[in-house]
Amino acid sequence: MAKSLSEAQVKEQDQLHSFLNFFSTHVSGISPDNPIHPRNVRPAILARYGVIKAFAGLKEAINDVIEETRPWSPEEVAVFNTECAKHGLVTLSELRRRYSGRYKSIVQRGRIRSDTEYYLVMGVLADVSQGEDDSERQKLEQMVHEYESRK
């Protein structure tokens, strides 16, 4: 019997795929009609690998987006977050919060150690539409304040 995704995973998969389609079109400049656009390769990936492996691959693609956008300034992230929100999509900051191993390490450590980490946290804080709870936001803001004090 083939494995399937839970209802929550199906929702997450749809959310990630919509984000990846938008990113591919509006940032990477891939025409939605191009055979390599994610919306066009999805059916073949599902048929070849099945829904579970396709979902894992989609998460890897999201991690690639997170890495690709790592150099973006907090202002660039905020602008892109706004565009995502206008289109009813999950924001880049929310995806960074959910999937970035680096972000999770920073939160667990409770301290920002570099400018790269600083910009990642600032990008997450730039998204006020969703994501972290108040206690996490306060912790992030405190870490930013402490890092800025050391600079």
- Same domain, yes or no: 107 and 52: no
What is the pLDDT, as a whole number, of residue 30? 97
| Structural domain span for residue 27 | 8-68
- Same domain, yes or no: 81 and 37: no
What is the pLDDT, as a whole number, of residue 47? 93
The Cα–Cα gap between 20 and 26 comes to: 10
DSSP characters for 66-112? HHHTTT--HHHHHHHHHHHHHTT---HHHHHHHH-HHHHHHHHHTS-
What is the pLDDT, as a whole number, of residue 146? 95
Angle at 18 between CA 17 and CA 23, to 5 degrees: 95
What is the pLDDT, as a whole number, of residue 32? 96
pLDDT, averaged in runs of 10, over the chain (151 residues): 80 96 97 96 93 91 91 90 96 88 89 88 76 78 94 78
What is the pLDDT, as a whole number, of residue 54? 93
What is the pLDDT, as a whole number, of residue 55? 92
Q: Which one of 43, 68, 93 terminates a domain?
A: 68
- Same domain, yes or no: 95 and 142: yes
- Same domain, yes or no: 43 and 88: no
Q: What is the total count of domains within the chain?
A: 2
CB neighbourhood size of 10 (10 A)? 13
Q: Residue 144's closest CA among 100, 104, 111? A: 111
What is the pLDDT, as a whole number, of residue 98? 86
What is the pLDDT, as a whole number, of residue 88? 96
Q: Residue 78's closest CA among 20, 131, 126? A: 126
What is the pLDDT, as a whole number, of residue 1? 44
Q: Are 54 and 46 in contact (CB under 8 A)?
A: yes
Q: Which one of 23, 45, 68 terminates a domain?
A: 68
